[in-house]
Structure 1
Amino acid sequence: MTDSIPDLAQQTEWPSELDDTELEELDQFLRAHAGEEHLLLDGVHGLLTAVGIGPEKIAPDEWLPEILHEPFADEDEGRRVLELLARLNESVELEVETDNYEPILGEVDLDDGDTALSALGWCEGFSRGVDLRARLWESRLGADSHLTELLGPIMALAVEEGVFATDADFAPLSEQEYDECLAQLPGAVSAVAHYWNEAPLTPEELNGPGGDAGENANLKRKRGGRWVH
């Protein structure tokens, strides 16, 4: 199942961007097959974002198991879901390349009956994408504080949502600060992508000692909310 995206992409011409109906279709599939710790659409978007802007390319064979957890019951359904995931992945890459990135975020219900945007799912997915190359991320973060600064809004939101654990001093965000960090997400994503393009991995980093998935790999995963693009 995991090797179907490259084959499908070579055989099919499609528009990269998913329309709202197609996003809803993928969202409904993920919800119908979601376990307690499985990613929903906002989380998948965060995962593909981290994969797309990270230190090295990651093949679908590696990131698909973070999204799909059981065989497809129907072959046509499987091909359709893989197509939607492939196009979502392509759309993330295209948006980053053209500096038009927009995160898919969740919504949470407030006590007054209103709703508010939530970065919880997106940050959860982003953290799992980082986990796939944790050693490379952590090695560079330890050597270059500039990367840490570029990741500032993402880290602040992830710490606020309990997704990232860190020794850094992050004060709780006010509602205004939270919204400001949400607004800064597109810029942070673009800045990190440019960073890795301009300062790629060195041979020493690529061939460095192996490591585990990092301190955030075993965090309790939380789900909730709805996606919003």
Structure 2
Amino acid sequence: MSEWLVSPSDTELEELDQFLRAHGGEEDLLLDGVHGFLTALAIGPTPAKPEEWLPEILHEPFVDPSLGERVLTLLARLNDAIAPELETSSYEPILGELDVEEGPPAFTARGWCEGFSRGIDLRAPVWEGRLGHDSELMELLGPIIALAIDDGVFESDAEFAPLGDDEYDECLAQIPAAVGAVAQYWHDHPLSVAEQNAPPGEGGQVPPRRRSGRWVH
């Protein structure tokens, strides 16, 4: 069991990334998306069990049982590492890389944001209800929403000017703090009994909508 509590190394993350690329479809999450997805569940209002989130990542049975065990172990360790990283202020999002003509690769949050949005989808009524009534949560998500809109993951009725390179990099740098702040928000503002049982409320600020998903309306 102790092996499951150790964060995957860079080599193991590369191994998991290669598996996801080899076995995923066009709409399936890659490593950056899986990390965003698991992050949203880890910091959200209610925990999700593996039987809920694994089908969102793995879409076909394992032909090789040993490979299956290996992949499940790496996913479990990636998931279990998020909370301790937040507690020790060592959380960093797994980002994609873009090739540029000159200089080092540029980082993109598109995959991470797509996964994060799918994690919210898994608890959509709860998130929608709170976001519709509490502007604080929307503000805490600000850098993530800005990146998601800029990368085309979210649509919004409001007009947003495209982020410049420096603004984009600044939002990237703010992801760890935003994730930690949202986790603290849900810790300090747990769901009431009424929220757990009631449908999403109307009014208040309306969150952006995913382009290809269920969040929001």
TM-score, with structure 1 as normaliser: 0.86
Q: Distance in 2 between matches of 1:210 and 1:61?
A: 25
The aligned counterpart of 2:2 is 13
Q: 1:139 aligns with which of 129, 135, 139?
A: 129
Count how many residue pairs are aligned between Structure 1 and Structure 2: 207
Cα distance in 2, alignment partners of residues 185 and 66 from structure 1: 23
Moved more, 158-167 or 82-91: 158-167
Partner of 2:169: 179
2:145 corresponds in structure 1 to: 155
Contact 1:131/1:217 (8 A) holds in 2: no
Higher relative contact order, chain-length normalized (CA < 8 Å, sep 6+): 1
Q: Distance in 2 between matches of 1:145 and 1:210?
A: 15
Partner Cα separation in structure 1 for residue 90 and residue 212 of structure 2: 32
CA RMSD of superposed structures (Å): 1.8
Q: Which residue pairs with 1:200 in the alignment?
A: 190
Residue 14 of structure 2: aligned partner:
24
Give the 3 Å change call, closer, same or farther, for CA 99–114 of structure 1 in structure 2.
Answer: closer
SS in 1 for 2:75: helix
Query: In the alignment, residue 216 of structure 1 is paired with which amino acid?
Result: R
Following superposition of structure 1 onto structure 2, how do residues 78-93 of structure 1 map, counting pairs within 5 Å?
A: 78-93=68-83
2:210 to 200, 207, 216: 216
- Cα distance change on mapping 1:106 and 1:48 into 2, 3 Å: same
Judge conservation of contact 1:123–1:158 (CA < 8 Å) in 2.
yes
Residue 179 of structure 2 aligns to which amino acid in structure 1? V
Any unmatched runs of 5+ in structure 2?
202-207
**Take 2:83 and 2:107, find their aligned partners in 1: how far apart are those partners?**
23
Q: Is the 8 A contact 1:128 1:217 kept in 2?
A: no
Cα displacement (A) at 1:97:
2.5
Tell me which residue corresponds to 2:91: 101
CA distance in 1, matches of 2:95, 2:122: 22
Q: CA deviation at 1:112?
A: 3.5
CA contact (8 A) 1:147 1:195 kept: yes
Q: CA deviation at 1:91?
A: 0.6
Aligned to 1:44: 34
